[in-house]
Structure 1
Amino acid sequence: MDYMEIVFALKAILASNDATEFAIVERHSHPADLAAALAKLTTADQCRLLGMASPAVRAQVFGYLSAKQQGALTAQFDRTRLAELLLHMHADERADLYNQLPEPQRDAALPALAQVEREDIRRLASYPEKTVGAVMTSDYATLPPDLTAREAIEELRRIAPDTETIYQSYVIDASRRLMGTVSLRELIVAAPHARVGDLMTPDPVSVPANAPREDAVRLIAKYDLLALPVINGGDMMVGIVTYDDAMDIEQAETDIDFRKVGAVSELGKGLKEASITLLYRKRVFWLVLLVFGNLFSGAGIAYFEDTILAYVALVFFLPLLVDSGGNAGSQSATLMVRALATGDVVIKDWAGMLGRELVVAGLLGATMALAVSGLGLWRGGPEIALVVALSMQLVVIVGSVIGMSLPFLLSRLKLDPATASAPLITSIADGTGVLIYFAIATAVLGLPGVD
């Protein structure tokens, strides 16, 4: 069923209150599509429909809802219904929901769960936000090394209903120390009496639970893993980060970086859900700060007032030149922020990248200088054409170097390189471009220096 068919079907079910019809929709729809359709209904209608779903499907659908929708729904749940939901959710989603619940609901729901689930929730919820531990799940398959391939397959068949993935199993010893990994395919094609310890890949790639969550994304992408084991001191395995969770993290981090590049603070919610007041607060700081930064451009223009009065034609090219420097700087900054974020470039690469950027920016500047020199010749004659061409060459080079270097500087200062946003780069390049342009004009046109 497509999205609109599900919406119409759910509205019909609400009118008829027919749980049998909901079971049919549930069977023929993906939980993500069901969640998207439910989001179009009121909270009361969502509660009614989720009440018709089987516990397992209800938990799956709930995991695809936004945090705001989850909060509105759980506020309507009694203790029994909330405990049932927590019991059937994936471990990582369950911990996330637990962290969102008000204290009274936490205290009411936990006693209704078995001790194993209570301890698992508390452990996963205890990791700091944006660490690997906060996004890992404890629903993973483990095998001892002395099992045979046949026994291992039987064990996976037994634990599969409560495990997020069985395609990759983790071999651990009696102390839960991670020894290696073995895939389901390897177990199936192996001789029935082959030992897991002989089939496993030893010393697998892993990540500490207290590491930044971006480390997990980078390792999963680098080694093309379905899941990444998480350890917590002494190589003791405590969870896994799955490929789909890594994709969610990457999307969230990319969204944050895009907003920072535009000099917009993190909203914490969707754009459609953000209020006018929130949007104002998240955007006003950088805009006001950059207003004062742009005063340097105005001061530069005032400083070279005599040059401007002598050659009014210079004003025609001012926006063109300073915008070109800002554009070149923004391009360089965007490339460098992304390279630093993915690990393609590290801080020690700055000198080598600077040399390459100077060459590239020189070629770009020469091309743009050639393109604009004809316009300068037409508007002001050979001398103005020379000023404009030289200024374009230098402005593009300087803007590119600023755009490339600022992310490195912020990384060195332990700040987010994405803060080297396009508006910030543009403001710096504008002020620098004004000084370069009028300094070259003053020198080439033989005007007296400014006292």
Structure 2
Amino acid sequence: MIANKTDYLELIKNKKWRKLKSSLQDLDAIEAADLVESSSKSNQIILFRLLSRQQAKEVFKMLNHSEQEAVIEGLAENLQKLARLLNDIEPDDRTAFFEELPGDIAQKLIQRLTPEEQKITVKLLSYPKDSIGRLMTTEFVAIKADFTVAEAFAHIRTHGKHSETLNVIYIVDDEWKLIDDIDIKALIFASPEEIITNLIDHRFVSLYALDDQETAIQVFKNYDRVALPVLSKDGVLLGIVTFDDIMDVIEEESTEDFHKFGSVQNAGKNPLKERIFNLYKNRIVWLVLLVFMNVFSGAALAGFEDIIQSFVALVFFLPLLIDSGGNAGSQSATLMIRYLALGEIQISDWYKLIGRELLVSFLLGITMAASIALVASFRAPEIIVVVCIAMVLNVMLGSLIGLILPFIFTKLKIDAATASAPLVTSLCDICGVLIYFSIASKLLVM
């Protein structure tokens, strides 16, 4: 086995294809994927063409979408290898790849599939975009309840070679309606003559093809399963969803939420490969909207020109105060979004949290006010009281804004992550200016 990436690149440079292919066979899928990902585009295609059939299948699954597209484009000249790869990929992984492609390109690639794989792919693509049907694979093993354990194992040996998982075997009736599932361990320890129906209790957990993918995330979390069956509304077993597919969804949704929380839309592509205009377009809308929101901060300041001219030291503490309110709000919003996403709190719990948040934010505000009082005692002792009161109120108000916004958006059926840090901060800026100078006007102008 070759020691490092440089040696592989040297073999490519010297066109020692036979030795390169032999060396690649020694790599596991993760090592091969890492080598492909870290190589240039032209070298990626060379490496991919020399991988074994099984390696190519596993490595393709591990690549990101843009790299998968590059591989497909690079294999276009070798239609036999391209067709073999597309047919070898698990149906759920193939569907995930096709759904990100322009329709005409996806259609051309679907034509490279065998009639059976075409039928499976078209069926999976017909489900709504974020449904469980898009995630499922049709590669599983099902047996009949009247099988003996020996017959079940014979069936598994015959039909289980390409199954996504053999940890769980599914029991169906003559109409392919799911009766139960059984752990492979139970079959291993059962007598070969035992009838399957004697080993099951007709209690199982399942998903429905038209359910949202977030339903699957919650069910996997609650029941700690490796795989779950996917049924039609009539109870017919259509496929299974495996834990690795759910992990991919969780990663995608987490990435999407981070983008929303930063007011960035559609930012999933590699910034090194994405067009400059697209990067600009994905960020400009929210930034412009927030600029107009911040105009209100300027308008609020304009209304306090007299007090600012009389006590110029007030301006020194303004950024510190409004930033503290915004930071407290962002913290609170982050926590609420997480708790809502994990199902640890419900929309109806909002009023229960307000009292607790008020107490926590009051303690935070008092602590931060004590810190700022120390600074004010040296800089402007005449406004210590104003600064301290404003700090406490800003932190409390910011925390409440951060708490309430996710609940409002969730109630309106808008993604709670839209209650993003920039939005919370902008609202806290406007309120912070009004609070600070209103207190100053009351206490300093006699």
* Same structural fold, with TM-score higher than 0.5 when normalized by the shorter chain: yes
What is the aligned length? 444
1:327 Cα shift?
Answer: 0.4
1:400 Cα shift?
Answer: 0.2
Provide the C-alpha distance between the structure 1 equivalents of 2:164 and 2:410, rounded to a whole number of angstroms: 36
1:258 Cα shift?
Answer: 1.0
- The CA deviation string for residues 156-194 of structure 1, in whole angstroms up to 9 with x for no partner, is 222232101101122222222222221111111223233
1:123 Cα shift?
Answer: 0.7
Q: 1:200 to 1:115 in 2, by over 3 A?
A: farther
Name the SS of the counterpart of 1:162 in structure 2.
coil
Instruction: Give matches, 1:65-144, under 5 Å.
Output: 65-75=63-73, 76-77=75-76, 78-99=78-99, 110=110, 113-144=113-144
Provide the C-alpha distance between the structure 1 equivalents of 2:371 and 2:106, rounded to a whole number of angstroms: 67
1:392 Cα shift?
Answer: 1.0
1:81 Cα shift?
Answer: 3.0
Point out the more displaced range, 400-409 or 6-15: 6-15
TM-score (norm 2): 0.92
Q: 1:389 to 1:148 in 2, by over 3 A?
A: same
Supply the AA of the counterpart residue of 1:248. Answer: D
Provide the C-alpha distance between the structure 1 equivalents of 2:6 and 2:128, rounded to a whole number of angstroms: 38
1:396 Cα shift?
Answer: 0.6
Match of 1:403 in 2: 402
Provide the C-alpha distance between the structure 2 equivalents of 1:400 and 1:346, rounded to a whole number of angstroms: 18
Match of 1:221 in 2: 221
1:301 Cα shift?
Answer: 1.2
Q: 1:110 to 1:261 in 2, by over 3 A?
A: closer
Q: 1:132 to 1:14 in 2, by over 3 A?
A: farther
The question of 1:333 aligning with 2:339 is answered: no
Match of 2:14 in 1: 15
Provide the C-alpha distance between the structure 1 equivalents of 2:223 and 2:409, rounded to a whole number of angstroms: 28
Supply the AA of the counterpart residue of 2:67. Answer: Q
Q: 1:286 to 1:178 in 2, by over 3 A?
A: same
Instruction: Give matches, 1:283-294, under 5 Å.
Output: 283-294=283-294
Name the SS of the counterpart of 2:160 in structure 1.
helix
Preserved contact between residue 6 and residue 34 of structure 1 (Cα < 8 Å): no
1:105 Cα shift?
Answer: 6.2
Supply the AA of the counterpart residue of 1:313. Answer: A
Q: 1:441 to 1:424 in 2, by over 3 A?
A: same
Provide the C-alpha distance between the structure 2 equivalents of 1:217 and 1:309, rounded to a whole number of angstroms: 57
Q: 1:339 to 1:63 in 2, by over 3 A?
A: same
Provide the C-alpha distance between the structure 2 equivalents of 1:107 and 1:266, rounded to a whole number of angstroms: 24
Instruction: Give matches, 1:249-398, under 5 Å.
Output: 249-381=249-381, 384-398=383-397
1:142 Cα shift?
Answer: 1.5
Preserved contact between residue 365 and residue 393 of structure 1 (Cα < 8 Å): yes
Match of 1:426 in 2: 425
Identity of aligned residues (%): 39
Provide the C-alpha distance between the structure 2 equivalents of 1:66 and 1:117, rounded to a whole number of angstroms: 23
1:404 Cα shift?
Answer: 0.8
Preserved contact between residue 263 and residue 419 of structure 1 (Cα < 8 Å): yes
1:11 Cα shift?
Answer: 4.3
Unaligned stretches of 5+ residues in structure 1: none
Name the SS of the counterpart of 1:161 in structure 2.
coil
Supply the AA of the counterpart residue of 1:199. Answer: L
1:32 Cα shift?
Answer: 3.0
- The CA deviation string for residues 229-275 of structure 1, in whole angstroms up to 9 with x for no partner, is 22221222212221111111111111111111111112231232223
Supply the AA of the counterpart residue of 1:305. Answer: E
Name the SS of the counterpart of 1:294 in structure 2.
helix
Name the SS of the counterpart of 1:309 in structure 2.
helix
- The CA deviation string for residues 51-108 of structure 1, in whole angstroms up to 9 with x for no partner, is 3333232222222223223223323425433322222111112223444566666666
1:53 to 51, 54, 59: 51
Q: 1:282 to 1:185 in 2, by over 3 A?
A: same
Preserved contact between residue 369 and residue 389 of structure 2 (Cα < 8 Å): yes
Provide the C-alpha distance between the structure 1 equivalents of 2:107 and 2:409, rounded to a whole number of angstroms: 43
Preserved contact between residue 79 and residue 109 of structure 1 (Cα < 8 Å): no
The question of 1:35 aligning with 2:33 is answered: yes
Point out the more displaced range, 47-56 or 417-426: 47-56
1:407 Cα shift?
Answer: 0.8
Name the SS of the counterpart of 1:230 in structure 2.
strand
- The CA deviation string for residues 315-339 of structure 1, in whole angstroms up to 9 with x for no partner, is 1211111111000000000111111
Provide the C-alpha distance between the structure 1 equivalents of 2:391 and 2:284, rounded to a whole number of angstroms: 32
1:303 Cα shift?
Answer: 1.0
Q: 1:429 to 1:112 in 2, by over 3 A?
A: closer
Provide the C-alpha distance between the structure 2 equivalents of 1:21 and 1:312, rounded to a whole number of angstroms: 73
Match of 2:437 in 1: 438
Provide the C-alpha distance between the structure 1 equivalents of 2:392 and 2:263, rounded to a whole number of angstroms: 28
TM-score (norm 1): 0.91
Preserved contact between residue 80 and residue 112 of structure 1 (Cα < 8 Å): no
Q: 1:187 to 1:434 in 2, by over 3 A?
A: same
Provide the C-alpha distance between the structure 2 equivalents of 1:434 and 1:272, rounded to a whole number of angstroms: 40
Preserved contact between residue 182 and residue 196 of structure 1 (Cα < 8 Å): no
Provide the C-alpha distance between the structure 2 equivalents of 1:136 and 1:338, rounded to a whole number of angstroms: 27
Point out the more displaced range, 67-76 or 208-217: 67-76
1:21 Cα shift?
Answer: 4.4
Provide the C-alpha distance between the structure 2 equivalents of 1:11 and 1:221, rounded to a whole number of angstroms: 47
Match of 1:192 in 2: 192
Match of 1:63 in 2: 61
Provide the C-alpha distance between the structure 2 equivalents of 1:113 and 1:442, rounded to a whole number of angstroms: 75
Unaligned stretches of 5+ residues in structure 2: none
Provide the C-alpha distance between the structure 1 equivalents of 2:201 and 2:270, rounded to a whole number of angstroms: 42
Provide the C-alpha distance between the structure 2 equivalents of 1:343 and 1:254, rounded to a whole number of angstroms: 15
Q: 1:10 to 1:150 in 2, by over 3 A?
A: farther
Preserved contact between residue 124 and residue 133 of structure 1 (Cα < 8 Å): yes
Q: 1:81 to 1:345 in 2, by over 3 A?
A: same
Q: 1:377 to 1:142 in 2, by over 3 A?
A: same
1:426 Cα shift?
Answer: 0.5
